[in-house]
Structure 1
């Protein structure tokens, strides 16, 4: 148990201090003996040697305890292994000691929603253990979210102020060593803007028995509530109107698709996406992501040659969705027949104001008299778009659906 580890950690600290004090006292005794007899007595020497051995063991124990506590603070279990958010809620002392007969609520901060889906050491990385078995075993792959394309940073307020570049006149030119005229002057203009922090929340009701059913409680939290937050957050990041309580999403701010002058024969959806990537790149930020509706992505994956061979899909194997070297996010949050490409990592940034908070309470409607509990999950986040021109929003209207010629 974490409380036992903390108690042992404090005891080791106290023992280590006690040994240090004794060594200090014996050092003074040894100095007196050496001054009086030119050597240390055998009794003092034996005592000092024993204390030095004890000190080494205590330091080793202290280091081990510190490592376990560090893992626990980053979401690990009592054995140091990472835990899911649902498991952390179940393991919380407030939940274990929750008294359903007492109409009170319990709030448990369990860390970032994103922390439950990464492969880092503090998340789910060490849960994937190597195992030698016949054949190839591939773990299931969770689809990308738009939030995975963005860089995330912390914020402490209810709004994020930022500076956006609105114009850049580049007059740089070669000049003489000793020019008679002033060197060319360039110009950069900026504007101050701000985006509010939005709150996304939802809840479910369950019988009080669910509190003692650990697997069921984890399923409620991991499988429904937190995934639901991710889905709605993605919708806000993409299409939030910026009006009222909504985020200001990327699509309402993105530039409209316009071919910058590339000639394409028999243009297909794949061609149009490549031109859109070029359009974003001409805005000085290289595009690094594509967002499509699942219907459009399926049509692209099913593209065949004239002899009915798949152009680039591998039906018998797993492949990370990608096109033109960029990851593809296939999400119902995107409208069918539409696309969004852009420089997600540089042209915009998402801000985490408050990580996922899970609250369990009987104080909701008639929960107390019906032996029910309400489990609420919510998060607070914001989005800032630094360069709207680095994102291109368009549609596939007018593209050629015909198959490409068969390869020789």
Structure 2
């Protein structure tokens, strides 16, 4: 755009007014921050009435007005630029009309002139006289399209070369790992993790008189075990894919282990325990259960926590809930509109009754799971993720394919069922 066209934008009245309004609001916001100082102490701000909350709300409102004004300026700027460009183009066209009312290379209708038409209209043709030897010369401004007598378009001509950016946008799916991060992880060299559980504890201790009979206590242990299970996946890939695209192998090596970790998250919370499944929290026999009923969800969660403390003698370390089930809790407000679980602008981790909340679609859709995973659960790894490649699968050798497989083996243990709970009826 020329300097003259830029001047026309500046002279656009509506744009000047909108820009002035935007500048004024920006200055007002800057003045408030200057009053507050580097510590953003709202008590120092005298230009706004009310307490700190009211001043913050005013700043939020002013910021929204700035956004609105900026949007208006951007809209007017587009209009102003278009008008200025049109005016500049009109003046440029009028300055090139040196053959009557037509351009040297185009007719009044805008169609390109032929080579012959431009030559006959040139000074060379008009000034030539028979027998004069070398006649006058003229330079013809020939349009390439006019010379070809056809439009040279990408659809019938030379298509532009396009290079990919290198970004690979992954399929939207549940991130992993997430759940497994809250479980202690150990290793095992056995096919099962075997341990003893105290299933009988009768404390008969009581105050006894001199020479009185001692009361008898009872203890009993039961052997428990959790079998090591395997989670596996494979992917067929052609030889050419790996040979011709250097990043393909790294991509596959990343996605297959990701699939395993994602599946492991789901098994930890929802596995049904039937071989080859792990036994997830929601299907462990003997965990605490609290029906939501008519209670608000936070109340039901607290009651489940109390059961874990009173009957399981444990302290909940994490709450697992789907985003859809956590949404009504997070949006709870008082009668006058104040958010109970904190203002939307509040940073920091999400908690409820002081316990971390993990939003994950690996949790059951109709339950909220919680418990003392830190002390009474364990993920025992028999073998970490193993990735192998072979062309011996089926007819892959003669087809030029490779089977890339990945798997892991682990056992999942919930040592004390009563240290875990579910809130039902969500």
Normalising by the smaller structure, the TM-score range is 0.5 to 0.7
Long gaps (5+) in structure 2: 1-174
Task: Please give the alpha-carbon distance, in whole angstroms, between the structure 2 residues aligned to 1:170 and 1:151.
Answer: 31
Query: Of residues 159, 169, 175 in structure 1, which corresponds to 2:202?
Result: 169
Deviation at 1:266, TM superposition (A): 7.5
> Residue 387 of structure 2 aligns with which residue?
358
Q: 1:153 maps to which residue?
A: 186
Distance 1:183 1:295 in 2: 57
Instruction: Report the Cα offset of residue 278 of structure 1.
Output: 1.0
Aligned match of 2:27:
none
The residue correspondences of 1:88-127 to structure 2 (distance < 5 A) are none
Question: Do residues 237 (structure 1) and 265 (structure 2) align?
Answer: no
The whole-number CA distance in structure 1 between the counterparts of 2:267 and 2:290 is 25
Shift of the 289–172 alpha-carbon distance from structure 1 to 2, 3 Å rule, reads farther
d(CA) in 2 for partners of 1:295 and 1:265? Answer: 18
Output the TM-score relative to the length of structure 2. Answer: 0.53
C-alpha displacement at 1:372, in angstroms?
Answer: 2.8
* TM-score, structure 1 as length reference: 0.55
Aligned residues: 249
Partner of 1:405: none
Match status 1:281 vs 2:343: no
Helix, strand or coil at the partner of 1:190: strand
Match of 1:403 in 2: none
CA–CA separation in structure 2 for the residues paired with 1:346 and 1:352: 17
Instruction: Determine which of 240, 246, 252 is the counterpart of 2:283.
Output: 252
Residues 360, 185 of structure 1: alpha-carbon distance in 2 compared, 3 angstrom cutoff? same
1:144–1:154 CA distance, 2 compared to 1 (3 A): closer
Q: Measured at CA, do residues 376 and 284 of structure 1 come closer, stay the same or move farther in structure 2, by a change above 3 Å?
A: same
Runs of 4+ in 1 over 4 A off after TM superposition: 173-176, 182-185
The residue aligned with 1:181 is 212
Please state how far the C-alpha of 1:202 moved relative to its aligned partner: 0.7
C-alpha distance after superposition, 1:32-74 (max 9, x if no partner): xxxxxxxxxxxxxxxxxxxxxxxxxxxxxxxxxxxxxxxxxxx
Is 1:347 the counterpart of 2:347? The answer is no
Structure 1 unaligned blocks of 5 or more:
1-141, 398-408
Whether the aligned pair in 2 keeps the contact of 1:272 and 1:396 (CA below 8 Å) is no
- Alignment of 1:196 with 2:227, yes or no, is yes
User: C-alpha distance in 2, partners of 1:170/1:324?
Assistant: 33
3-state SS in 1 of match to 2:299 = helix
- Indicate the SS of the match to 1:368: helix
User: Is the 1:280–1:341 contact (alpha carbons within 8 Å) kept by the matching residues of 2?
Assistant: no
Cross-structure match for 1:208: 239
Partner of 1:272: 300
The higher-RCO structure (CA 8 Å, 6+ apart) is 1
Alignment partner, residue 338 of structure 2: 309
Offset, 1:395: 1.4
Between the aligned partners of 2:187 and 2:238, the Cα distance in structure 1 is 36
Answering whether residue 359 of structure 2 is matched by residue 330 of structure 1, we say yes
| Structure 1 residues 108-155: Cα deviation after superposition (integer angstroms, max 9, x where no partner) | xxxxxxxxxxxxxxxxxxxxxxxxxxxxxxxxxx77622222112111
What is the deviation of 1:252?
Answer: 1.4
SS in 2 for 1:257: strand
